[in-house]
Amino acid sequence: MIKRCVVLAPCVLALCGLVFALSGAAGPMREYLRYRRDVSISQPGRQNYLVIDGPIWAHVRSDLSDVRLYDGDVQVPYALSEEHAASSTEEREARILNLGVRGGRTEFDLDVGGEVEYNQVLLHLQAANFVASATADGRDALGEGAGRKLSTSTLYDFSREGLGNNFALRLPLATFRYLHVSITPAISPHDITGASTSAHHETQATWISAGRCHSPEQVSRATRIACDLDPGVPVSRILFTVPPGVVNFRRTVSVSAVTANDPQGQQFCSGSISRIRMKNGSREVVTEDLAFGFCNGKERQVTIEIDNGDNVPLTVDKVEPQSLERRIYFDPAGKTAINLYYGDEKLPAPEYDYARFFHKEADAAQAVIAAETLNPSYTGRPDERPWSERHKWVLWGAMLLAVVMLALLALKGLTGPTPAQK
Task: Please determine, for residue 182, whether its predicted confidence score (pLDDT) is greater than 60.
Answer: yes
* Residue 422 predicted with pLDDT over 70: no
Q: Give the domain 207-322 fold.
A: Jelly Rolls (2.60.120)
Domain boundaries, the chain: 29-85+326-374, 88-203, 207-322
369-391 per-position pLDDT tens digit: 999 999 999 998 886 666 556 55
Higher pLDDT residue, 175 or 52?
A: 52
DSSP string, 212-264: EE---EEETTEEEEEEEEPTT----EEEEE--TT--SEEEEEEEEE--SS-TT
Lowest mean pLDDT among 134-148, 183-197, 259-273, 357-371: 259-273
pLDDT digits (tens, 9 = 90+) for 250-275: 999 999 988 767 767 788 899 999 99
Name the average pLDDT for the chain.
86
Buried b (16+ CB within 10 A) or exposed e, 215-231: ebeeeeebbebbbebbe
Q: What is the structure's pLDDT at 420?
A: 53
pLDDT score recorded for residue 99: 95
Q: Over 80: is that where the pLDDT of 9 sits?
A: no
Average pLDDT over residues 208-234: 94
- Cα–Cα distance between 307 and 313 in angstroms, integer? 9
Least confident span in 31-35, 173-177, 219-223, 278-282: 278-282
pLDDT, average across residues 223-235: 94
pLDDT at 383: 65
CATH number of this structure's domain 88-203? 2.60.120.260
What is the pLDDT, as a whole number, of residue 86?
73
Give yes or no for residue 412 having a pLDDT over 70.
Answer: yes
365-366 and 48-51 beta bridge pairing: parallel
pLDDT at residue 16 in the model: 46
Beta-bridge partners for 327: 51, 81
Distance CA 225, CA 5 (A): 80
Rounded to the nearest angstrom, the gap between the alpha carbon of residue 379 and the centroid of all alpha carbons in its chain is 32
Q: What per-residue confidence (pLDDT) applies to 15? A: 45
CA separation (Å) from 311 to 241, 251, 278, 315? 19, 10, 19, 11
Question: What is the model's pLDDT at position 417?
Answer: 62
The tally of CA atoms less than 13 A away on the side-chain side of residue 11 is 10
pLDDT at 288 over 50: yes
pLDDT at position 198 over 70:
yes
Answer yes or no: same fold for 88-203 and 207-322.
yes
Mean pLDDT, residues 295-303 taken together = 83
Measured between alpha carbons, how far apart are the two ends of the chain, in Å? 16
More confident residue, 191 or 10: 191
pLDDT of residue 180 exceeding 60: yes
**How does pLDDT run across 44-65, given as a tens digit for each residue?**
999 999 999 999 999 999 999 9
Strands annotated E in 83-147: 86-93, 95-102, 105-111, 118-125, 130-139
Q: What is the pLDDT of residue 5?
A: 44
pLDDT tens sequence across 86-139? 766 778 899 999 999 999 999 999 999 876 789 999 999 999 999 999 999 999
Mean pLDDT of 3-11: 46
Distances (CA, A) of 342 to 34, 35, 233, 345: 6, 5, 15, 9
Task: Assign 282 a pLDDT band (cuts: 50, 70, 90).
Answer: low
| pLDDT at 316 exceeding the cut of 90 | yes
Amino acid (one-letter) located at 91: E
Output the furthest CA–CA distance in the chain (Å, rounded): 138
Helix (H, G, I), strand (E, B) or coil at 209: strand
